[in-house]
Structure 1
């Protein structure tokens, strides 16, 4: 069976959506300090994607993701931040031109010149000529320089010292993926190292830690056998005293909370609601069947009383005695028409 391809595009889209401030703080501390984070920020990349649809024809599976973010600076000005992440091992020819066209389109579309652009390479370093767009033309020269972040060239010591920054961790994970591309056992060791780093940084907010655990787990993919070994290894570290799989209430509560922080809902609550829904549906069905049975009994009683009165020529006291009901009830039925007489 062919191994399912890793959807890097979706992974990094979610990552930047969750940790955008970390990204800005890592790549440009000056810009981070200038942004009024209290005003929030808006992702606009879908508009950009729709505008660019069909303009760039790339063979094969898409191996990049784009983010366009609008922020407000502390001085009140608006500012755009464009992020392009390349997953493939080599930047395609014409990459710098594409970055320039992205920038030109953003400016034309929104009428704003204040645009910061960043290209993030998670694989091999790109050719130097693809980190700068330079176009001379008979005495006229067009130059566009954007900031390039190349994961494999970032000093490992710097990334380790910045582990509290989520984007630094992502770049370290990408660096480890590339370094171990031909050695699954080295990749196993590096994945364990990253999990140990995360686990030892207990002061990081719980929700952030959970999302980073999941990002590292999915990004640093292992062969099935090693992945199983990795999971067993990590469980024993998280629950060191569990010699057998004893699921305590505390463990259940932790798992439910973990799931809720990651996926936005508590599975136990969902299950309880589903059970309640089933019980309500069962009760409703039972009540409907009971009402139907009562109607059928009443119909049979009505038809019997009318038959005894009309066909057997029995009077009210005789019918009441025979049916074991009061004379008032018999008279009430006789005052109504039988279903066959209605209409």
Structure 2
């Protein structure tokens, strides 16, 4: 069985790789206000460590929430809290959770200026969950944050904005949602995404990360994935018969890939093949065990059937001996034998008749 897709983690990693582009899409005003020359720092792990044991942070979310420190052109420090969420169905209490996290972050870092952005790539949340409101008599809380809902974005608007790679990421989420349980449609849409991504002018490492995100997020059944690879991989990295790739070039390419993505693709592929072989062997052993178990149960059932048949014959022979004893030795008529043994009179008469025919013969 293939591993389930962790859509939240995929999107979180994408935002890590394309943080400026993400901000430019989510909040252009904030993008213009940030002094990008001072860089930015991811703080989510630091936040998790600080809050661990003090506040309840549900398992997956401590990995998919992002907290980033930036500096504005005014010189002020600013925090950006980002939550990536793939929902199979809308969640109750999401707005309140966003408010609570904002409060915890403000207390932890002593910063009031915090931008909050939620990105939904699955089922759309209700409008009530895209903010948090609480009124107690004359005290009122109103907390609003940016909500980006992929499935409610307009396809053409995302295509028009696709010079920003995050627009393509949202388009991937939109297409994945639209093509659920429709592998042929999903193959077509995934190919469309690759073609769109290839048309953009971006550094090689950026375009490669974008293509890998699309490949993983818009997942296909293996047969369709093979078809996708045969066409799109060739178009992305075309080669001719005359092209000669030296060992040194291959090593350089592998080293570049490892530098960009943190792992050697050849090692990863070998590990994947190993795991696939192990999976096949486990499935084979399981199938063999099930076959042996089924054969064992069949033999057992056959043995029980034979025993039941033998018992039936034994009881029939015993019944016939009893009937013959009553008829020959005790000279009882058929009606009395049937009554005493609680047997059908026709059966008794037939048995006696067969006996008499046998004796006459």
TM-score by length of 1: 0.70
Shift in alpha-carbon separation, 1:206–1:261, aligned structure 2, 3 A: farther
Q: CA deviation at 1:62?
A: 5.8
Q: CA deviation at 1:125?
A: 1.2
Q: CA deviation at 1:116?
A: 0.5
**2:205–2:260 Cα contact (<8 Å) kept:** yes
Q: What's the counterpart of residue 207 of structure 1?
A: 205
Q: What's the counterpart of residue 186 of structure 2?
A: 187
Q: Deviations over 1:117-166 (max 9, x none)?
A: 01111012101111111111112111111111101111111111111212
Q: State how 1:24-103 maps to structure 2 within 5 Å.
A: 24-53=23-52, 55-56=55-56, 65-103=64-102
Q: What's the counterpart of residue 221 of structure 2?
A: 223
Shift in alpha-carbon separation, 1:51–1:101, aligned structure 2, 3 A: farther
**2:85–2:119 Cα contact (<8 Å) kept:** yes
Q: Distance in 2 between matches of 1:238 and 1:146?
A: 38
Q: CA deviation at 1:263?
A: 3.0
Q: What's the counterpart of residue 248 of structure 1?
A: 244
Shift in alpha-carbon separation, 1:142–1:198, aligned structure 2, 3 A: same
**2:168–2:197 Cα contact (<8 Å) kept:** no
Q: What's the counterpart of residue 121 of structure 1?
A: 120
Q: Distance in 2 between matches of 1:75 and 1:62?
A: 32
State the SS of the aligned residue for 1:190: helix
Q: What's the counterpart of residue 288 of structure 1?
A: none
Q: Deviations over 1:48-104 (max 9, x none)?
A: 22345464475x966971000010000100101000111123332111110000011
**1:64–1:85 Cα contact (<8 Å) kept:** no
**How many aligned residue pairs are there?**
263
Q: What's the counterpart of residue 330 of structure 1?
A: none
Q: CA deviation at 1:259?
A: 2.3
> Gaps spanning 5+ residues in structure 1: where?
269-343
Shift in alpha-carbon separation, 1:126–1:63, aligned structure 2, 3 A: farther
> Gaps spanning 5+ residues in structure 2: where?
267-361
* Residues 1:148 and 2:147 aligned together: yes
Q: Distance in 1 between matches of 2:122 and 2:116?
A: 19
Shift in alpha-carbon separation, 1:128–1:51, aligned structure 2, 3 A: farther
Q: CA deviation at 1:255?
A: 4.7
Q: What's the counterpart of residue 138 of structure 1?
A: 137
**2:176–2:218 Cα contact (<8 Å) kept:** yes
Q: Distance in 2 between matches of 1:258 and 1:192?
A: 25
Q: Deviations over 1:233-288 (max 9, x none)?
A: 1234246675x7x87217848854762453358889xxxxxxxxxxxxxxxxxxxx
Shift in alpha-carbon separation, 1:248–1:116, aligned structure 2, 3 A: same
Q: What's the counterpart of residue 261 of structure 2?
A: 263
**1:19–1:167 Cα contact (<8 Å) kept:** yes
- From the CA coordinates, give the structure whose radius of gyration is larger: 2
**1:41–1:69 Cα contact (<8 Å) kept:** yes
Shift in alpha-carbon separation, 1:93–1:266, aligned structure 2, 3 A: closer
Q: Distance in 1 between matches of 2:77 and 2:188?
A: 45
TM-score by length of 2: 0.67
State the SS of the aligned residue for 1:31: helix
Shift in alpha-carbon separation, 1:186–1:114, aligned structure 2, 3 A: same
Q: Distance in 2 between matches of 1:138 and 1:211?
A: 51
Q: Distance in 2 between matches of 1:57 and 1:78?
A: 25
Q: What's the counterpart of residue 164 of structure 1?
A: 163
**2:12–2:84 Cα contact (<8 Å) kept:** no
Q: Distance in 1 between matches of 2:237 and 2:148?
A: 38
